Amino acid sequence: MRRLAILVSGSLCFWLLAALPARHVWGDSALVFSGVSVLLCLVPTALTLSWANWAMEQAPQQQLLVVMGGTGLRMFFVLFGGVLIYFLVPYFQNQQSFWIWVLISYLVTLTLEMALVLAARRDASGKTVASRS
């Protein structure tokens, strides 16, 4: 639960630090596009992080499934959701900046998730080594 809170707060901090200056340069649309793209990327990333936390206590095959399945789930959700928003909401049509924000948000949330998963794995291996001593 703690890692999920770090993911959400880190994503929101990124949004604030990136979107507020962008709003002053490119207007209100930058604020809207960045907010929607962060939320669009945050939902599947939170799901895959929760799945990865669960898999840490499972067999190694489950961990491999999380790596492969999480990547596919995240990419599908973000691309499918982005395409739906792009075609169904007129405000987002013909705006390349929306897709730029989606790409940046995807990379930021992916980086946060990977850092949290690796930290959890390091913590788990440290506890295992300590318990054997």
Cα separation of 119 and 26, whole Å?
37
Residue 66 neighbours by CB distance under 10 Å: 21
Residue range 81-98, pLDDT digits in tens: 999 999 999 999 877 899
Q: Which helix (H) or strand (E) holds 42?
A: helix 28-55
pLDDT for 99 equals 94
pLDDT for 88 equals 95
Cα separation of 90 and 29, whole Å?
13
Residue range 46-89, pLDDT digits in tens: 999 888 888 888 777 777 788 788 888 999 999 999 999 999 99
Tokens of 39: 């939320």
